[in-house]
Structure 1
Amino acid sequence: MNELSQADEQAALDSPSPLRFEFRGDGMEYFKIWMVNILLTILTLGVYSAWATVRNNRYFYSNLYLDDDNFRYLAEPMQILKGRLIAIAALVAFTVTSQIAPMIGLGLMVLLLIAIPYFVNQSLAFKNRMSAYKNIQFRFKGSYGEAIMVLYVWPIIGMLTLGILYPLALLRLNQYIVRNSSYGTTPFTFEATFGDYGKIFLTMIGAGIVLAIPTWVVMVFVPSLALVVPVFVAAVYFGLIVFFMVKTTNLFYGSLALAGHGFDANLQIGGLAKVILINTFLTIITLGLYLPAAKVRMAKYICSCMLMHATGALDSFVAAEKENVSALGDEFGEAFDVAV
């Protein structure tokens, strides 16, 4: 009897338990930060923008909770500023050179295209390393070759196949981001398939065709309603965009796992559309002043739809991961401490 009780307890510990993500930010609180950031950025001719970025990110990270612990953003403003100064210097050099010597400018454009995959890898590595949960940082180890494939090769293949392989291009991009990311030393996995993304694209195409037919009929046979058509088309496009956002987001997080711990997202088309429409309307009538509250509203909605299915106690997994990270040490040098 005692053995059965112990077995039941172990089974309960091993069974997935849902942990809900929660965003605890406040629109008015963030509005104050946002306003100060804008004013200081203007007064310093843009120099303060690096500090503004850090303040914004720290606010959203620190108000994002999982299992009653919040995330942390670790970057310092000078790291962001260095990266931006490098980018501005490169842009100025490219612009001036293109005006003086167009052929050299063309060569620099080719070099930029070659360098973009490297910059993307560096940017993702920096972003992950500057993100932490329970004092453990995230990591990213994507290769230059993988970046070339997902940024150039797969999108071109999708275009050459008239969009048939665009779902595969999106799948490869998400695989590249997720499978090269880790929480400490534990890698994430991504189990979505080409078929999963293909269904989303086929549904969108089918819905577009079905809705295009009555639109054409109205335009040809009922000219008096022609003025209504643009409104209807805009509504259809909006609906398809929201559908795509909801389905791809739910698929992305539903296919994500971390050492047996699963994730889930249950965004609803109506719910997301409502948030977008309210945010857009209030931002317009307030001449942009509602934008901070709009960001908070969106963050609250998305987090309310997301879960982590923890297998066993999450604290036990984190404690073991801390030991692994301590044993591994910090293999990243100072070169990775600049935002690119």
Structure 2
Amino acid sequence: MATTLLETEKKTTAFSFTGKGSELFAIEIVNFLLTLVTLGLYYPWAKAKTLQYLYRRTELAGSPFTFHGTGKEMFIGFIKGMGIFALLFSFLVLGAFADVPFVKVLFIFIFLVGLLVLIPVALHGMMNYRTSRTSWRGIYMGYRGELSDMVSTYLVGTFLTVITFGIYGPWFVVKIRKEMIDNVRFGNVRLRYVGDGADLLLIHIKGYFLSIFTLGIYLFWYAKELLQFFTNNIVVLQDDKYCRLQCSVTGWEVLKLTVGNLFIVVFTLGLGIPWATTRTMSLIMHKTVMSGHFDADALVQTEEGYDSAMYESMSDMMDIGII
């Protein structure tokens, strides 16, 4: 294994981002206007157009990714998601107006438990949809995780985090990432997440105290440490060889990016968000490589389609992003 590792580290495959703020702004301003005049109904199509642009401007080894999701799929998912949320909130409303204390507590309990379970369900569905709608050089990604595993991992992690007053949190985050990333397939390539909760806890402790001692200046290096922890622990397995992602962003670069984005967004009254987005994507992608063996020509299509965007929309409503 040591020999294989030394051999694979000789090769790097680079990511890049070629998007421009002006191009994204043109898409977003149209999206905003159409979403406004349709009272929000256009949002799924707006999100699809934004994702399609960001994906095709993100490249690996000079070839762009493609997002095949459509506004129609996301709209159907949006309607289904709204229905589930409406059902859950009906229990909250019934509980609020119930006269019998037991019934009041029961309905509110059902609402809280339902909302808690909905989070891992949304994450699972989002991964299924987003990966199945992503391709590179014609090869589709896929997700093979089991819903029961995601729900049990999330509920157990939440319980342990609560009873340990947050101490278990880093292990919880790592286990969720492992559940999501370990089940991703990219043709005949598999992903693995090898991060450890203890390392993440140390990053948090170090970041917390140094940020206080430096009056907040270390926050940018703290963000860099987290980005590298979440990126550099992703391993890509292909046949009997592997490589891993490596992000070389520095704290100073994060500081310049953050301050620059803040000025852009504030002084343009929010109109500069597309430029802030493309600047962020550009820095991260240009500073990330796959180090080791990766043979694009050996990729073989293995994944089946999955067209339900319901939980993609629900993850938006709950402000859950891809971890």
Specify if TM > 0.5: yes
Alignment partner of 1:239 is 2:233: no
Q: How many angstroms apart in 2 are the aligned matches of 1:166 and 1:13?
A: 36
Q: How many angstroms apart in 2 are the aligned matches of 1:143 and 1:38?
A: 36
Counterparts in 2 of 1:335 and 1:70: CA distance versus 1, 3 Å: closer
Q: How many angstroms apart in 2 are the aligned matches of 1:180 and 1:256?
A: 12
Task: Answer yes or no: is the 8 Å Cα contact 2:14–2:289 preserved in 1.
Answer: yes
The aligned counterpart of 1:55 is: 49
Q: 2:22 aligns with which of 23, 28, 33?
A: 28
* Amino acid of the structure 1 residue aligned with 2:175: R
More displaced, 16-25 or 85-94?
85-94
Alignment partner of 1:190 is 2:193: yes
Q: How many angstroms apart in 2 are the aligned matches of 1:62 and 1:333?
A: 20
The CA deviation at 1:100 is: 4.5
The CA deviation at 1:27 is: 0.8
Task: Answer yes or no: is the 8 Å Cα contact 1:282–1:290 preserved in 2.
Answer: yes
SS at match of 1:287: coil
Please give the residue correspondences for 1:23-172 in structure 2 after superposition, counting only pairs within 5 Å: 23-96=17-90, 98-100=92-94, 102=96, 103=104, 105-106=107-108, 107-172=110-175
Q: How many angstroms apart in 2 are the aligned matches of 1:333 and 1:156?
A: 31
* Amino acid of the structure 2 residue aligned with 1:46: G
The CA deviation at 1:77 is: 0.9
* Amino acid of the structure 1 residue aligned with 2:56: S
* Amino acid of the structure 2 residue aligned with 1:258: V
Q: How many angstroms apart in 1 are the aligned matches of 2:243 and 2:8?
A: 10
Counterparts in 2 of 1:166 and 1:114: CA distance versus 1, 3 Å: closer
Q: Which has the larger radius of gyration?
A: 1
* Amino acid of the structure 1 residue aligned with 2:137: K
Q: How many angstroms apart in 1 are the aligned matches of 2:18 and 2:211?
A: 38
Q: Any runs of at least 4 consecutive aligned residues in structure 1 with deviations exceeding 4 A, and if so which?
A: 12-15, 208-211, 332-338
* CA displacement 1:70-109 (0-9 Å, x = unmatched): 0000111111001111122333344455434544742344
* CA displacement 1:285-304 (0-9 Å, x = unmatched): 11111111110111111111
Q: Identity, % of aligned pairs?
A: 18
The aligned counterpart of 1:272 is: 254
Q: How many angstroms apart in 2 are the aligned matches of 1:179 and 1:87?
A: 26
Counterparts in 2 of 1:280 and 1:205: CA distance versus 1, 3 Å: closer
* Amino acid of the structure 2 residue aligned with 1:137: Y
* Amino acid of the structure 1 residue aligned with 2:249: L
- TM-score, scaled to structure 2: 0.82
SS at match of 1:16: coil
* Amino acid of the structure 2 residue aligned with 1:33: I
Q: How many angstroms apart in 2 are the aligned matches of 1:27 and 1:184?
A: 32
Structure 2: gaps of 5 or more residues: 1-5, 97-103, 314-323
SS at match of 1:200: helix
The CA deviation at 1:305 is: 0.9
Structure 1: gaps of 5 or more residues: 1-11, 212-231
Q: How many angstroms apart in 2 are the aligned matches of 1:176 and 1:94?
A: 26
SS at match of 1:309: strand
Please give the residue correspondences for 1:204-283 in structure 2 after superposition, counting only pairs within 5 Å: 204-208=207-211, 210=213, 232=215, 236=216, 239-240=218-219, 242-259=220-237, 260-283=242-265
* Amino acid of the structure 1 residue aligned with 2:35: T
* Amino acid of the structure 2 residue aligned with 1:131: T
SS at match of 2:269: coil
Task: Answer yes or no: is the 8 Å Cα contact 1:263–1:309 preserved in 2.
Answer: yes
The aligned counterpart of 2:273 is: 291
The CA deviation at 1:256 is: 1.3
The aligned counterpart of 1:175 is: 178
The CA deviation at 1:279 is: 0.8
* Amino acid of the structure 2 residue aligned with 1:117: P
* Amino acid of the structure 2 residue aligned with 1:239: Y
* Amino acid of the structure 2 residue aligned with 1:156: F
* Amino acid of the structure 2 residue aligned with 1:179: D
Paired positions, count:
296
